[in-house]
Amino acid sequence: MTTMIKVDNATKSFTMSYQRSLKQIAIAKATGRKTHDVFNAVDDVTFSVQEGESIGLMGLNGSGKSTLLKLVSGVMRPDSGSVLTRGRIAGLIATGAGFDPQLSGRDNLYLNAAILGMSKAETQKKFDEIVDFADLGKFLDTEVAYYSSGMKARLGFAVAINVDADIFIADEALAVGDRPFKRKCRKRMDEIVKSGVTMFYVSHAPGSVRSLCSRVLILDHGKLAYDGDVDEGIRFLHYDDDDDDNGKGAKGSTDDGLGADI
């Protein structure tokens, strides 16, 4: 079986500064206080994904899920270790990612499709299908600066699902928009999974992960804490099991939407 994603000892670090101005930094150093800390958002993570697998990536807020997704998608590079992928990658990482707010929805459709590797001919061929899924109506020719987060999600997701991809990635794609749009997204993602495309899906919702995924990876403070069966993974996290599409997963926590985690 073909390996589509291979992550070997990948680490991604960020610097957290405590002072913003030179004066504050000078005072902090003079008084022996810390000026910054370095932390690993993804810490020595290793796993591989085979062709056709549907992987759910779970963990509490701040566990490093979105950073790992960005490493897999190529938006970021690891500071150490390696992240290798095979074939074309498409998906939705963050609401409005890659959009130019000064351009219309129509122009951003072509722009986003190009960023995802679609040729102009491919985009024109699938244009009507993308527009129909996004369901923006008369707002298609309005500047994206005036779009709500839900409208941006509609357009971004509509473009992403129409890319002929080998790997489809999504960060809480079902957590944005109204209930009918969530249902439409869920149905389309079911179709993507059944088509044999490799999926890498971040979610707090156990119902979504159970229905879409065959395996779960769980991050805890940047480290891979669990890799295996979906039901066992959900129990490992002590997640409530009654949520499906409102974004509430762990007891005492809620999901704020796309790109909320580091």
Q: 172: domain CATH number?
A: 3.40.50.300
Q: What is the pLDDT of residue 146?
A: 92
- Main-chain phi, psi angles of 61, to 5 degrees: -55, 135
State the Cα angle at 262 between 150 and 260, rounded to 5°. Answer: 25
Structural domain count, the chain: 1
Strand 80-85 and strand 3-17: the pairing is: antiparallel
Q: Is residue 243 part of a domain?
A: no
Q: Is residue 35 part of a domain?
A: yes
The residue among 85, 59, 60, 49 whose CA lies nearest residue 70 is: 85
Residue 44 CA to residue 143 CA, distance in Å, equals 42
Q: Is residue 122 part of a domain?
A: no
Residue 198 lies in domain: 3-87+166-237
Q: Is residue 44 part of a domain?
A: yes
The pLDDT tens digits of the residues spanning 29-78 come to 677 776 667 889 999 999 999 999 999 999 988 899 989 988 998 889 99
Q: What is the pLDDT of residue 262?
A: 45
Only one residue has tokens 């527009």, namely 131
Residue 90 CA to residue 157 CA, distance in Å, equals 10
Q: Is residue 125 part of a domain?
A: no
Secondary structure of 92-104 as H, E, C letters: ECCCCCCCCCCCE
Structure tokens that stand for 199 in this block: 């999926």
Q: Is residue 244 part of a domain?
A: no
Tens-digit pLDDT profile for the chain (262 aa)? 799 999 999 999 998 666 567 766 677 667 777 666 788 999 999 999 999 999 999 998 889 998 998 899 888 999 999 999 999 898 777 656 678 999 999 999 999 899 888 899 999 999 999 999 998 989 999 999 999 888 888 898 889 888 888 999 887 655 556 778 778 888 888 898 899 999 999 988 888 899 899 999 999 999 999 999 999 999 998 875 544 444 444 433 333 333 334 4
- Main-chain phi, psi angles of 200, to 5 degrees: -130, 110
Q: What is the pLDDT of residue 185?
A: 83
Residue 96 CA to residue 103 CA, distance in Å, equals 12
Q: Is residue 215 part of a domain?
A: yes
* DSSP assignment string, the chain: --EEEEEEEEEEEEEEES--SHHHHHHHHHTT---EEEEEEEEEEEEEEETT-EEEEE-STTSSHHHHHHHHHTSS--SEEEEEE-S-EEEESSTTTT--TTSBHHHHHHHHHHHTT--HHHHHHHHHHHHHHHT-GGGGGSBGGG--HHHHHHHHHHHHTTS--SEEEEESGGGSS-HHHHHHHHHHHHHHHHTT-EEEEE-S-HHHHHHH-SEEEEEETTEEEEEE-HHHHHHHHTB-SS-SSSS--BTT----STT---
The pLDDT tens digits of the residues spanning 160-170 come to 888 888 999 88
Alpha carbon dihedral 162, 193, 204, 88, in 10-degree steps, equals -50
Q: Is residue 117 part of a domain?
A: no
